[in-house]
Amino acid sequence: MKAHLWNAAYGILDYGAYPIGMLVVAPVALHNLGLAQYGVWTLATAAVSTGGIIASGFGDANIQHVASRRGADNKEMLIRAVRSMMGINLIIGVLFAAIGWLISPLAAAHMTVADVQLRQSCLWSLRIASLMIAIRAIESVCISTQRAFERYGAAIRISIVARFIALAVAAGLSFVCQSVVAMVLTTGILTAAGLWLQIAHLKNFLSAESLMPAFDRGSGRALFSFGIFSWLQAVAGVVFSQVDRLMLGVTLGAGVVASYALCAQMAQPIFGFAASGLHFLFPYLSSLNSSSSSASLKRPLLTAFAWNLLFVVVSTASMLLLGDRILRAWAGAEIAQGAAPVLTMIVWSSALLGLNVTATYALLALGRVQIVTWFNLAGGTSMMLLMLFLTPRIGIRGIAIARLSYAVIPLFLYIPLLRRLSRKSSSGDTLLQSQRVCEAIEGTS
């Protein structure tokens, strides 16, 4: 139990530490760089984050594959799987890094129309950010492998320390040279150093002679069959998390987007902390599923759901009671007044997303990634259709209602989960009865 609590704590720390660090550094960087260069820095940071998520979409496949096979006591098989994952993520990372490099001139020209010097800064910041996407893709293999062994602390400590040092150095450089390119380049170098430490630590943990990318047919097939769906979820998650803001900006203008975005940011931790805190459930259940009956799965699932429900209820109640006051203190009365019509619905949408965390991780652990993907895509598609229909008619309220549909549909994941557990239970009972019959026959003979 203690190990699970530590894993949950590290998961939450991994989710919240870097955004908090960015908030701390933001006033310093904004003051020293000016609004335009600060915008370039945030753009480059967002490009690394978004590209890294997409390029690391096979991470859940690695967790499920390694966790479900670690009990087989076949070290060579595990190392082959990890090296295959290294190869897959290297290809994906390089591909998206190349795409980012090629489209950087277009993005820089669009973002900086008249300022030639700023355009060059934006261009090279985005190109360095593109290279960092490949680094993040490889780093995700190290982190996901450690998580498959339910060792969240070691990999997350290295990642967080490297990112905090990068933020501190970037803040210092904003005083010294006011160069956003130097800030992004230094961040890239420190990220690469963090990757080197991650690989060295993982290599020592696995007692592997090499973790160089290699392709094993059996492992590659298993990783692709799961990973293509988890990658699709990652891409869809990036798209669906931004489409509401784009829709508002196009139809109602930037001012409305600001109010809505602040509401979404404030409510996001209800889902984010639930998902990051319970992430350890995924590798834990994957390992249990490979060697246990459904009876042994039901107890941790019920416990996890109880904690999941408790956290969502408490955090949602707190946000509903204090959300308006927090928003007024954070962003001012004008934005709070503009957000008032939708704050409650946005909080509820984040709460409903938070409730489906247990079902999502359980089904992923059971290998049912396809059904998780289809339910999430169905939720996202319904959200987009409702936005197109409702936003021109009722404005910002239409966006908030559409978000609720995105949150409600994944709740139905509990239905296939319960069916799968009952089917596994009945098959386990049949096997037990067969074993007893065989023992009785042997006893009579």
**What's the farthest any 2 CA atoms get from each other in the chain?**
93
The first and second tokens of residue 342, run together, are 């939708």
CB distance 293 to 425 below 8 Å? yes
Give the span between the Cα atoms of 402 and 382, in whole angstroms: 7
Give the span between the Cα atoms of 200 and 147, in whole angstroms: 16
DSSP 270-295: HHHHHHHHTTTHHHHHHHHHTT--HH
The first and second tokens of residue 268, run together, are 């996001």
CB distance 81 to 223 below 8 Å? yes
CB distance 62 to 144 below 8 Å? yes
Q: Say what the pLDDT of residue 324 is.
A: 83
Give the span between the Cα atoms of 406 and 240, in whole angstroms: 9
Give residue 372's pLDDT band: very low, low, confident or very high (50, 70, 90): very high
H or E stretch at 297: helix 294-331
Q: State the DSSP code for 149.
A: T
What pTM does this model have?
A: 0.83
DSSP 337-360: HHHHHHHHHHHHHHHHHHHTHHHH
Residue 316 pLDDT greater than 90, yes or no: yes
Three-state secondary structure call for residue 132: helix
Q: Say what the pLDDT of residue 439 is.
A: 44
Q: Rounded to 5 degrees, what angle do the CA atoms 113, 44, 192 make?
A: 145
What is the residue extent of each domain of the chain? Answer: 1-215, 243-445
Based on C-alpha coordinates, what's the Rg of the chain? 24
Residue 277 CA to chain centroid, in angstroms? 12
Residue 314 pLDDT greater than 50, yes or no: yes
CB distance 276 to 354 below 8 Å? no
Give the span between the Cα atoms of 280 and 273, in whole angstroms: 13
Average pLDDT over residues 240-262: 70
Give the span between the Cα atoms of 97 and 86, in whole angstroms: 16
pLDDT tens figures, 3-57: 778 888 888 888 888 888 887 887 888 888 887 888 788 888 888 888 888 888 8
CB distance 260 to 245 below 8 Å? yes
pLDDT tens figures, 86-114: 999 999 999 999 999 998 898 888 776 66
Average pLDDT over residues 223-250: 81
Phi, psi of 184 (to 5 degrees): -70, -40
CB distance 70 to 148 below 8 Å? yes
Q: Say what the pLDDT of residue 250 is.
A: 64
Query: CA-CA-CA-CA torsion for 252, 50, 215, 65, nearest 10 degrees?
Result: -80
In angstroms, the first-to-last Cα distance of the chain is: 46
For 136-169, letters b (16+ CB in 10 Å) and e give bbbbbbbbbbbbbbbbbebbbebbbebbbebbeb
